[in-house]
Structure 1
Amino acid sequence: MTLLLLLDKFEIVNIDIKPGTSLTFKGVPGSENRFAINLGKDSNNLALHFNPRFDENVVVCNSLHGGSWQSEQRERRMNFARSAVAKFSVHFRGDAFVVKMPDGSQIVFPNRHGYNSINYIAVRGGFKLTSFKFE
């Protein structure tokens, strides 16, 4: 596993997350309109792009294959507030990703590419990550 901490992003590469694993993110959304949690093989092949959008009051989930975006799944469950601590988790089930939102509700997004492991995790945009764990 390689951990890269850069000024504007959190990124882990060369990790081997198997089905049955839960990832928990805790942090504070900033003043930006959007942030994203990306899980996949690498930055051009994402199984899950989890993207709360304050400017649209929506959470968008999508996947990326070979650098090409697939169709969006839009959820009108914006459980995030700017400058408020948010804790949420992503459970990699194998066939799908189950995102447990800060209020306890869930978003289910299919594993469209059938990945049997996740090798890349990244946090992008306006989310100051204060803790991260997987189990």
Structure 2
Amino acid sequence: MSLSALTAQETFEIMNMAMNLGTTLKVKGNIAKNDDHFAINLGEGPEKLGLHFNPRYDRSSIVLNSFDGEWGKELVVNHLCFAQGSEITVVMTFDSDGFKVTLPDGHQISFPNRLGLSQVPYLRVEGGSASPP
């Protein structure tokens, strides 16, 4: 799947994914040169996200959050180890402690399971280009 193929209006969604505790998901893609951000969301559905992973190039950071009717407190990580125009692989593990995200350089980010999810059937990847290609 190519992240570069996604624009602000395009998304890639899986609604019935079998991601239980202990499962690891690997997302590989190309980031478009003109994207200012993209997001990978995991949860029960679009209105209940256990993990919102959102690299933001304009801030040189990665924002992680959860959503259940409203956004929780953002976790901002200043470790953006990839750039626009690059190919990346992000590994996401879901366990009883929450989500562990391994970045392309091996750096790990932990994010708690704030919603108490025992399975994650929903995946959404969305692009976020601020200007047209």
Q: TM-score, structure 2 length as denominator? A: 0.86
SS of 1:14's equivalent in the other structure is: coil
| Residue matched to 2:39 | 36
Contiguous gaps of at least 5 residues in structure 2: 1-5
Which has the larger strand fraction? Answer: 1
2:121 is the counterpart of 1:119 = yes
- Letter paired with 1:49: H
Matches of 1:97 and 1:64, distance apart in 2: 14
- Residue by residue over 1:67-92, the C-alpha shift from the partner in whole angstroms, topping out at 9 and shown as x without a partner, is x1110000000012111111110000
Q: Which structure 1 residue ranges, 4+ long, deviate > 4 Å from structure 2? A: none
What does 1:50-61 align with in structure 2 at a 5 Å threshold?
50-61=53-64
Report the residue type matching 1:62 in the other structure: N
- Root-mean-square deviation (CA, aligned residues, Å) is 1.6
Aligned residues: 121
Number of the residue aligned with 1:15: 17
Equivalent residue number for residue 84 of structure 1: 86
Identity of aligned residues (%): 41
Q: Deviations over 1:4-51 (max 9, x none)?
A: xx9821100022310110000111111111100000000011000000
Residue 53 of structure 2 aligns with an amino acid whose one-letter code is F
Partner of 1:70: 72
- For 1:90, what is the secondary structure of its paired residue? strand
- Which of 43-52 and 93-102 deviates more? 93-102
Compute the TM-score of the two structures, normalised by the length of structure 1: 0.85
Deviations 1:98-121 (A, max 9, x none): 000000010000000110000100
**How many angstroms does 1:97 deviate by?**
0.4
